[in-house]
């Protein structure tokens, strides 16, 4: 299968490497070519624009930073829609807005393309190890056709319905993660202040009802002072803002998620730590 992939960041790199291992030909584009060097060395080929990627591919996948980046790579004059051939499938794996997913699907159909929104969960570890959770919305026929491909990059793949439903599912995921990230952060602050042995606390809590993916994956990094991004804090803040806007549309009040957003705004906007991983939230407590 000839796959085009736009976005060679932390997540995209891991996914591309697994697609290459599965035997696919992958052509890539990234805003900064130097950031694509890892996948180029692994066997991917380079194209000079999203349009050029699309023209060479039957499946075009995007995983970029923000909704405005998604809009740009699809709709600009040298974008995906300018180069994609009728019958091709476009898959946006960026965590973006449900509204944009619906808009892109509408345009894709007008161009005789199939479209899926398929955000993922599992962080850099999941991308590297092909253990991602993939949440899919869009054309059911396209989903069935792409399911074998999704299975090559993820261990759990689920279809949720029409365009935008994958993004709504990812928002539900991020609301949950907001609770686990703030919880593990304040757990560590409390345990440290109480004079407890933090590795022992982690080992104990991991064997009980408090166990969760975020704690198992991020607390060991925090204990080593490792704040490299498995998932950028600035991108998580973007996700929380999207989730709360969607909640407003549905007339929902989510005070705990609102509080998590405010904490990440302190980290990202006030402290300038947006390029840290989400586990860097603990720094705003250490500075108090």
What CATH number has the domain bearing residue 97? 3.40.50.720
Are 155 and 219 part of one and the same domain?
A: no
Domain match, 20 and 121 both: yes
Q: What is the DSSP letter of 136?
A: E
Residues 152 and 172 in one domain: no
User: What pLDDT is recorded for position 255?
Assistant: 98
- 114, 128, 165, 170: which one is catalytic? 170
Alpha-carbon distance of 151 to 164, in angstroms, equals 21
Residues 6+ apart with CB under 8 A from 202: 215, 219, 220, 223
Q: Spell out the alpha helix ranges (H) of the chain.
A: 10-21, 37-42, 50-55, 67-75, 80-83, 98-110, 123-129, 140-151, 165-193, 198-205, 213-223, 233-249, 255-265, 283-286
Same domain, 150 and 22: yes
Instruction: Identify whether residues 181 and 135 lie together within a single domain.
Output: no
Mean pLDDT by 10 residues, the chain (288 residues): 96 98 98 97 98 99 97 98 99 98 98 99 95 98 98 98 99 98 98 98 97 96 96 96 98 98 98 98 87
Domain extent, residue 54, equals 2-161
Task: Check residue 286 and give its pLDDT.
Answer: 86
In this structure, what are the phi and psi dihedrals at residue 113, rounded to the nearest 5 degrees?
A: -110, 155
**pTM higher than the cut 0.85:** yes
Q: 130 and 179 share a domain? A: no
What's the CATH code of the domain at 221? Answer: 1.10.1040.10
| Whether residue 23 sits in one domain with residue 155 | yes
Question: Domain count of the chain?
Answer: 2
Residue 263 CA, distance from chain mean position: 20
Identify the CA nearest to 25 among candidates 48, 42, 7: 42
CB 11 within 8 A of CB 124: yes
Active site residue 234: no
């Amino acid at each position: 299968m000839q796959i085009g992939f736009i976005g060679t960041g932390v997540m995209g790199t891991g996914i591309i490497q697994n697609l290459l291992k599965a035997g696919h030909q992958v052509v890539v584009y990234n805003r900064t070519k130097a950031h694509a060097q890892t996948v180029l060395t692994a066997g991917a080929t380079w194209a000079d624009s999203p349009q050029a990627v699309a023209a060479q591919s039957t499946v075009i996948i995007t995983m970029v930073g923000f909704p405005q980046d998604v809009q740009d790579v699809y709709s600009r004059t040298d974008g995906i829609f300018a180069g994609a051939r009728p019958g091709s499938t476009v898959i946006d794996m960026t965590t973006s807005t449900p509204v944009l997913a619906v808009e892109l699907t509408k345009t894709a159909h007008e161009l005789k393309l199939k479209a899926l929104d398929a955000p993922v969960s599992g962080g850099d570890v999941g991308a590297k190890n092909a253990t991602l959770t993939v949440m899919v919305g869009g054309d059911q026929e396209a989903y069935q056709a792409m399911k074998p491909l999704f299975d090559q990059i993820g261990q759990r793949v689920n279809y949720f319905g029409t365009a935008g439903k994958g993004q709504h599912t990812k928002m539900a995921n991020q609301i949950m993660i907001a609770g686990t990230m703030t919880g593990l952060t304040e757990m560590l602050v409390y345990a440290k202040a109480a004079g407890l042995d933090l590795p022992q606390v982690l080992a104990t809590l991991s064997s009980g009802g408090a166990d969760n993916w975020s704690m198992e994956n991020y607390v060991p990094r925090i204990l080593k002072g490792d704040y490299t991004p498995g998932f950028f804090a600035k991108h998580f803040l973007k996700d929380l803002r999207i989730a709360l806007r969607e909640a407003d549309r549905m007339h929902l009040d989510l005070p705990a998620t609102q509080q998590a957003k405010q904490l990440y705004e302190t980290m990202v906007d006030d402290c300038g730590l947006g390029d840290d991983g989400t586990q860097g939230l603990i720094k705003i407590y250490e500075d108090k």
